[in-house]
Amino acid sequence: MTAAFWGLAVVSAASAVAVFVVDSMARATFALLTSLLAVGVAFLLIDLHYLGVLIILMMVMEMLIMAVFMIMFMMNPAGLTPMRMVHNTRIAGLVAGGVFVLLAAGALLTPWPRRRGRPPADPTHALGLSIMGPKMLVMMVIGVAILATMISTVVLATARGRYDPPPDRRTGEGER
Amino acid sequence: MGLSDWLTRQAARRPRPLVVTAPYGTRTRLRVERELARRGWPIADGPAGASLLVVCGIPGDALDKAIRTVWMDMSAPRALVELPHGTDPAQALDQAVVRLADAPAQRRDAAAHLARSRPSAPMPAGREHDGHDGHDEHGEHGGSPGGVPMAGRGPDRDGLALDRLHVPLGPILADWPSGLVVEATLQGDVIQRASIRLTPGFWNGPGPESGGGREGSANAADGHRDSADTAGEHEGDARGGGEAPFWDEPWLLASRGHRVTRGEAERRRAAAHLDSLGRLLAVAGWPAAAATARALRDRALAGASREDLMPEFGWFARRVGRSRLLRWMLRDLGVIGDEPPDTGGVGGGAGAPGTGGGAWLSGGGGVGDGGGRPGVGGGAGAGSSVASGVGVGVGVGGGAGSPGAGGGAGLSGRGGVGGGRFSGDVAARLDRWLVATGVALGALDDPSILQDDRGPRGPVGAQPSRALLAVLPGVLEGVELGAARLIVASLDPDTEQLGALRHV
Amino acid sequence: MSEAVPYGIVVAFPVALAGFTVVAAVFDSVVGAGWSWRAAGGPLREAARLLVQQRRRTLLPDTLLLRAGVCGLLVAAVLAGVVLPLGERPVADPPVGVVWFNAMEVCVWGAIWLTGWGTNSCYPLVGGYRFVAQGLAYELPHMFALITVGLGAGSLRVGEVVAAQSGLWFVVWMPVAFAVYLVSAAAMAFWGPMDRPVGSDIAGGVRGELSGPDRLVFQVGRYALLVVAAAAAVPFFLGGGAGPVLPAWAWTAIKTAAVLAGLIWAAHRLPAVRMDRFTQVSWLVLIPASLLQLLVVAVVVL
pLDDT for the residue numbered C262 = 92
Instruction: Yes or no: say if C116 and C128 are a contact pair by the CB < 8 Å rule.
Output: yes
Taking 90 as the threshold, does the pLDDT of residue A98 lie above it?
Answer: yes
* Band of pLDDT at residue B344, cut at 50, 70 and 90: very low
Range with the poorest average pLDDT among A14-18, A48-52, A76-80, C66-70: A76-80
Most confident of B180-189, B272-281, B418-427: B272-281
Strand partners, B194: B184
Taking 70 as the threshold, does the pLDDT of residue B243 lie above it?
Answer: no
Kindly state the average pLDDT of the residues B132-147: 43
Q: Is C271 an interface residue toward B (CB < 8 Å)?
A: yes
Looking at beta carbons, which residues of chain A come within 8 Å of C119? 77-78
Q: Is C126 an interface residue toward B (CB < 8 Å)?
A: yes
Range with the poorest average pLDDT among A6-15, A55-64, C234-243: C234-243
Whether residues C207 and B146 touch (CB distance < 8 A) is answered with no
pLDDT over 90 percentage in chain B: 5
Q: What chains are in contact with B, requiring at least 3 Cβ pairs below 8 Å?
A: A, C
Q: Which residue of C has its CA nearest to A27?
A: C65
The secondary structure of B320-349 as a DSSP string is HHT-HHHHHHHTTSS-B------TTSS---
Kindly state the average pLDDT of the residues A156-161: 70
pLDDT for the residue numbered B206 = 37
Please state the length of chain B: 504
* Band of pLDDT at residue A167, cut at 50, 70 and 90: low
Range with the poorest average pLDDT among A59-73, B275-289, C65-79: A59-73
Taking 90 as the threshold, does the pLDDT of residue A81 lie above it?
Answer: no
**Antiparallel, parallel or unpaired: β B180-187 and B190-198:** antiparallel
Distance from CA of A156 to the nearest CA of C (A): 12
Residue B36 is assigned to a structural domain of this protein:
yes
Taking 80 as the threshold, does the pLDDT of residue B242 lie above it?
Answer: no
Taking 70 as the threshold, does the pLDDT of residue B202 lie above it?
Answer: no
Whether residues B139 and A83 touch (CB distance < 8 A) is answered with yes
Q: Is B343 an interface residue toward A (CB < 8 Å)?
A: no
Residues 13-42 of C with CB under 8 A from B: 32-34, 36, 38-39, 41-42
pLDDT tens for each residue of C143-165: 999 989 988 888 888 888 888 88
Range with the poorest average pLDDT among B228-237, B256-265, B329-338, B456-465: B228-237
Whether residues A54 and C99 touch (CB distance < 8 A) is answered with yes
Taking 50 as the threshold, does the pLDDT of residue B21 lie above it?
Answer: yes
Q: Round to whole Å and give the CA distance between C186 and C229.
A: 8
For B140, the closest of A71, A72, A84 (CB atoms) is A84
Range with the poorest average pLDDT among A8-17, A80-89, C257-266: A80-89
pLDDT tens for each residue of B295-329: 999 998 888 888 888 888 999 998 898 888 899 88
Distance from CA of C41 to the nearest CA of A (A): 36
B178 and B86 housed in the same domain: no
For B187, the closest of A75, A77, A169 (CB atoms) is A75
Residue B418 is assigned to a structural domain of this protein:
no
Handedness of CA B155, B194, B150, A70 (dihedral sign): positive
Under 8 Å CB pairs connecting chains A and B tally to 92
pLDDT for the residue numbered C92 = 81
Q: Which residue has the higher pLDDT, B227 or A124?
A: A124
Kindly state the average pLDDT of the residues A34-58: 88
Instruction: Yes or no: say if C199 and C205 are a contact pair by the CB < 8 Å rule.
Output: yes
pLDDT for the residue numbered B277 = 92
pLDDT for the residue numbered B282 = 92
pLDDT for the residue numbered B149 = 59
Range with the poorest average pLDDT among B312-321, B493-502, C9-18: B493-502
Kindly state the average pLDDT of the residues A136-147: 83
pLDDT for the residue numbered A21 = 81
Range with the poorest average pLDDT among C45-59, C126-140, C173-187, C189-203: C45-59
Whether residues B113 and C46 touch (CB distance < 8 A) is answered with no
pLDDT for the residue numbered C145 = 92
Q: Which residue of B has its CA nearest to C275?
A: B329
Can you say whether residue A164 is alpha, beta or left, with left for phi > 0 and alpha for psi between -120 and 50 degrees?
beta
Q: Which residue has the higher pLDDT, B375 or B196?
A: B196
Range with the poorest average pLDDT among B57-61, B86-90, B199-203: B199-203
Taking 60 as the threshold, does the pLDDT of residue A88 lie above it?
Answer: yes
pLDDT for the residue numbered B1 = 59
pLDDT tens for each residue of C74-87: 999 999 988 888 87
Whether residues C284 and A161 touch (CB distance < 8 A) is answered with no
Interface list for chain A against chain C, based on CB atoms closer than 8 Å: 24, 26-27, 30, 33, 49-50, 53-54, 56-57, 60-61, 63-65, 67-68, 71, 75, 77-80, 122, 124, 144, 147, 151, 154-155, 161-163
What is the tally of structural domains in chain B? Answer: 2
Peptide bond connecting B171 to the previous residue in cis, omega within 30 degrees of 0: yes
Q: Which residue of B has its CA nearest to C35?
A: B288
Looking at beta carbons, which residues of chain C come within 8 Å of A41? none
The ranges assigned to domains in chain C are 7-301
Most confident of A86-100, B151-165, C238-252: A86-100
Instruction: Yes or no: say if C265 and C31 are a contact pair by the CB < 8 Å rule.
Output: yes
Q: Round to whole Å and give the CA distance between C226 and C232.
A: 10
Residue B171 is assigned to a structural domain of this protein:
yes
Taking 60 as the threshold, does the pLDDT of residue C105 lie above it?
Answer: yes
pLDDT for the residue numbered B364 = 31
Taking 80 as the threshold, does the pLDDT of residue C62 lie above it?
Answer: no
Handedness of CA B366, B371, B372, B376 (dihedral sign): negative
Taking 90 as the threshold, does the pLDDT of residue B222 lie above it?
Answer: no
Looking at beta carbons, which residues of chain B come within 8 Å of C51? 4, 7, 11
**Domain closes at, from B201, B224, B247:** B224
Kindly state the average pLDDT of the residues A143-152: 85
* Band of pLDDT at residue B463, cut at 50, 70 and 90: confident
* Band of pLDDT at residue B227, cut at 50, 70 and 90: very low
pLDDT for the residue numbered A78 = 53
pLDDT for the residue numbered B258 = 80
**Antiparallel, parallel or unpaired: β B377-381 and B479-480:** unpaired
Measured at the CA of B332, the angle between CA B330 and CA B338, to 5 degrees, comes to 120
Taking 80 as the threshold, does the pLDDT of residue B500 lie above it?
Answer: no
Q: Which residue of B has its CA nearest to A75?
A: B163
Q: What SS3 state is found at B400?
A: coil
Q: Is B336 an interface residue toward A (CB < 8 Å)?
A: yes
The ranges assigned to domains in chain A are 1-78, 122-160
Taking 60 as the threshold, does the pLDDT of residue B131 lie above it?
Answer: no
Whether residues B46 and C208 touch (CB distance < 8 A) is answered with yes
Q: Which residue of A has its CA nearest to B333?
A: A165
Q: Which residue range(s) make up the domain with B198? A: 147-224
Quick count: other Cβ atoms within 10 Å of Cβ B148? 20
pTM of the model: 0.79
Q: Is A74 an interface residue toward B (CB < 8 Å)?
A: yes
Taking 50 as the threshold, does the pLDDT of residue B417 lie above it?
Answer: no
pLDDT for the residue numbered C224 = 93
Residue B219 is assigned to a structural domain of this protein:
yes
Whether residues B286 and C212 touch (CB distance < 8 A) is answered with no
Kindly state the average pLDDT of the residues A95-119: 89
Peptide bond connecting B77 to the previous residue in cis, omega within 30 degrees of 0: yes
- Per DSSP (E only), the strands in B375-430 are 377-381, 384-385, 391-392, 395-399
Taking 50 as the threshold, does the pLDDT of residue A113 lie above it?
Answer: yes
Whether residues C49 and B481 touch (CB distance < 8 A) is answered with no
Q: Which residue has the higher pLDDT, A72 or B238?
A: A72
